[in-house]
Structure 1
Amino acid sequence: MESLQKKLEALSVACRSRPEEPTYLLHIALQPHSSSELLAVSCSNFTLHLHNKNTLSLIGQYQGHTGPLSGVTFAHRSTDLLYSASADGTVHGWDVRQPGSKAVQTFKSDESHHFCSFDLNCSDTLLCAGTEQMNNEDSFLVFWDSRKPGAAGSGDGPLGVYSESHSDDITQVCFHPQDKDRLASGSTDGLVNVFDLSRGAEEEALLATCNSDSSAGSVCWSGPDYNQLLCLSHDEGLHLWDLGQLNTEEPLTIYSTSDARSLTPLPGRGGVDYLVGGQWLEATQKLLVVGGMNSGDLHLMECDRDGLRLLRSLEGGHTLTVRCFMWNTVAEGLVTGGEDGQLLLWKGGVELTKEGGKRESFKSESSLRRKSRPHKKHGYGKEKKT
């Protein structure tokens, strides 16, 4: 099996796409299954863009949200469905066979709820959204049965909420890739919680609480059996925990650093300016962590109990902060999006398409920043509560 480093060493910009108007690209989702052709991107102007994942050509866009988007994902089995959530308090389902059409499903909860995180479980039966803190006191995990949506209006209400496990904005909810009842959530209160939803009530469902000692930004499942959790904090801390040790006396922490910028994985150039996110690569059994520089350059690193190791640097692509990435296992390519408004496809053994041209950037305008949820790389997140 070809090593991950060799695969990354071959990467170069194969395709480049730019929106017609300035917008930040916030989240990327790939349509599952090897024969699928689509990827979706959420934008800071509250729209969703649908692209061909091989050419990055724009197929269509969806409009319907009235607030910043907080997540986007394709259904795992019914791959014609695309879901998105927003701070406007709605979760929408879109039919990707009809680009540009109105939402075919709508999920709502209390009118005061503003969603800042969202995910769908691996069986496509359960949706979960995390809310911002309300009344300086409460934040909620809201659950819906995806089989009971509202069509062009409000349908059945939520199945229920969890309200006791977090005391601040819930910045990330992430279902287990293989266990439909396992959920991880992270919050600006510094806690990362793991639930077994099959146990029902919140107190019984809470399996573990890990403390990031800071404001938790993103969480992802990793490890050979997906028994590990990676947490990246808003101040660039990194924590890797082994949940397989929950019923033992062994420590959960595999590796932890309060500030990954203080490390020096970049030969002769110090550390990264920020961390974009992480993704477990099943084919190579490696945890890929992507960091970046304010100039737009990217650094691809491997993370394990020995820390971070640089595998490859990608230069000449983006010109501003990178917000999101996704490794396409089937095509063995990397898709990245950022504040320069560019969507890039990095692949091995290819030349830049004519649509690529030279790289350009959109200037950061005050109106654009108002439309975009403050980025974790720019101080988003409240002070950790004591």
Structure 2
Amino acid sequence: MDTLEDTFRTLSIARRLQPSDATYILDLSLASCGSGGSDVLAVCCSNYSVHLHNRETLRLVGTEQVEEDSFLVFWDARMVQDRGETGSLLGVYTESHSDDITTVKFHPRQADRLASGATDGLVNVFDLSLGGEDDALVTTCNCNSSASSLCWTGKDLDQLLCLTHDEGLYLWDVARPDSDDTLTLLSSADARTLVQLPNGASLEYFVGGTWLSDEEHILLVAGSNHGELHLLDCSGRGLKFIKSLKGGHSATVRCFQWDATGQSLLTGGEDGQLLQWKAGAEEISVGKKDSLKSISSMQLKTKAHRKQATQKERTKLA
């Protein structure tokens, strides 16, 4: 973790993509490095749109238009038949939660392992290969609040990190759910009290957490409502402050992704900005598409019209 901590401590803004309209960035997702789309960053916005960007340059990747329509289509590869036709609905679980489901997280390695959290305070782990809901439910943990995000962590990815909407933090070992040993490794109803910033201030909210597989540590990102970010190391012993990132966002940050391939931190929030942070970087502004043009055709027409009008006015005066 020491090497990566050094990287985190020298992070600065490498690229800044300004919003084209008044939207929040709610979530970010990077394609896995083993897939063909490993250079693509998906951005989910508050206006129900999903934008694809190059993960290194942050430039917008457009999708092809078919006549007057654009399509974003998803298939579950397990449902595709030999003839290329999609299968039927896999199934529905109805008994495991009693209130709105707020977050789900598939296991990075085990395709049939799924964790779900809800406003009922329950976090469930399922093995979908076992079929029906009763058989598929492996274990249930209680965060005593509304779950906001989940993350599979640990050397063998057999631990589960849960953050709640009221800033609680829970870390469970779900490797042996039938064991008599406690599943809870860390529990705090308000994890903001577990660490204090160097200037004596307190954390205001948590953005989320991610497992750093190479360093075998949990990176936790917290923030302040005016856009400042704080990087933390999380373990069963508590939270450790690493670095504050300033001068980037101007409002609440909603999401982040650590790009291990590019060694960069990607962040998005309510100011609509998409930022890329790299060690020792100098900022490059990635503007709107129109701003890349030296001058638009509309501007040329406007200038030509104004020039003609000026010439007419001079003729009248003469």
Name the TM-score class by shorter chain: 0.7 to 0.9
Which residue in the other structure is 2:161 paired with? 230
Answer yes or no: is the 8 Å Cα contact 1:195–1:205 preserved in 2: yes
The answer to whether structure 1 residue 179 and structure 2 residue 110 are counterparts is yes
CA contact (8 A) 1:214 1:234 kept: yes
Shift of 1:256: 0.8
Q: Secondary structure at the match of 1:159?
A: coil
Question: How do residues 186-225 of structure 1 correspond to structure 2 at under 5 angstroms?
Answer: 186-225=117-156
| Higher helix proportion (structure 1 or 2) | 2
1:236-256 Cα distance to aligned partner (Å, 9 max, x none) = 000000112423221110001
Please say if 1:56 is aligned against 2:68: no
**Alpha-carbon offset, residue 217 of structure 1:** 1.0
Radius of gyration: which is bigger? 2
Match of 1:330 in 2: 261
The DSSP-based 3-state class of the residue aligned with 1:330 is coil
For residues 1-386 of structure 1, the aligned pairs below 5 Å read 3-33=3-33, 36-60=38-62, 98=64, 102-103=70-71, 105=73, 125=77, 145=79, 147=80, 156-355=87-286
| Alpha-carbon contact 1:260-1:271 (below 8 Å) kept | no
Structure 1 263/270 Cα, relative in aligned 2: closer, same or farther at 3 Å? Answer: farther
Query: Do the aligned partners of 1:216 and 1:233 also contact (CA within 8 Å) in 2?
Result: yes
| Unpaired stretches in structure 2, ≥5 consecutive residues | 288-318
CA distance in 2, matches of 1:335, 1:17: 11
Q: Which amino acid is 2:43 matched to? A: V
Structure 1 CA distance, aligned partners of 2:265 and 2:2? 16
**1:106 Cα deviation (Å)?**
5.7
- Superposed CA RMSD in Å reads 2.2
1: CA distance between counterparts of 2:192 and 2:95? 33
1:318 aligns to what SS in structure 2?
coil
Q: Distance in 2 between matches of 1:296 and 1:104?
A: 31
User: Are the structure 2 counterparts of residues 104 and 237 from structure 1 closer, same or farther at C-alpha, using a change threshold of 3 Å?
Assistant: closer
Counterpart residue type for residue 215 of structure 1: S
Cα gap change, 1:338/1:104 in structure 2, threshold over 3 Å: closer, same or farther?
Answer: closer
Give, in angstroms, the shift of residue 99 of structure 1: 7.5
Cα deviations across residues 251-306 of structure 1 (Å, max 9, x unaligned)? 11000100122333312323210000110011111101110001100001011111
SS of structure 1 residue aligned to 2:134 = helix
1:355 & 1:29 partners in 2: Cα distance?
A: 19
SS of residue in 1 equivalent to 2:175:
helix
| TM-score (ref. length: structure 2) | 0.83
Q: For 2:279, give the aligned amino acid.
A: G
Equivalenced residues, count:
281
Task: For CA contacts below 8 A with separation 6 or more, give which structure has more relative contact order.
Answer: 2
Query: Gaps (5+ residues) in structure 1?
Result: 61-95, 108-123, 127-144, 357-386
TM-score (norm 1): 0.69
